[in-house]
Amino acid sequence: MEEYYLYIKSLHLIFVITWFAGLFYIPRLFIYHIEASFKPSPEKEILTTQFKLMTKRLWYIITWPSAILAVLFALLLLIINPSFLQLPWMHVKLGFVFLLILYHLKNHQIVNQLQKNQIKYSSKFMRIWNEASTLILFSVVFLVIVRNAINWVYGVLGIFTLALLLMLGIKLYKRIRSKNPNA
């Protein structure tokens, strides 16, 4: 099985990338769907019908299969090389993967709610929610690439700085959008 390790690792990375593509785009569709629900008829019905279809296709055709395949290939990699489970950085990475799975499942819940026209969150909340996957991605990539060389204090400060910059970016975008609603 070791002779297939690099092929399995490549497939794992491909499906991680497509999984994240879905996780990056699905909250954008949530935002569009939520904002469309406040439009006048018939625009509201036309847009929400279209966003429901786009969401359903993205979620069930791309995001869910990618998540499942990314996890399956990750498990295969750990079966081939179980010594990785003894490394401290791998424990931290698996913690982030657990957070990512929780994020994915919460998005699934939101998909189901919006399919039933149940709007429980604002578009502003969704803009902030959208950044959670970005923080997890940055954390995992830096952790995997830098591994043991990372100073945890700087790593934690870096993630908080990134979160702060993302929040400032959201506020700036909101300010720009309030001046120009078509932005």
What span, in angstroms and rounded, lies between the C-alpha atoms of 70 and 62?
Answer: 12
Q: What are phi and psi of 169, to 5 degrees?
A: -60, -40
The answer to whether 15 touches 66, Cβ cutoff 8 Å, is yes
Structure-token match 């847009």, residue found = 47
What span, in angstroms and rounded, lies between the C-alpha atoms of 56 and 52?
Answer: 6
* Exposure of 82 in the CB half-sphere (CA atoms within 13 A): 1
Q: Is 93 annotated as a binding residue?
A: yes
Q: Per the annotation, where are the binding residues?
A: 12, 93
Q: Per the annotation, where are the binding residues for heme?
A: 12, 93
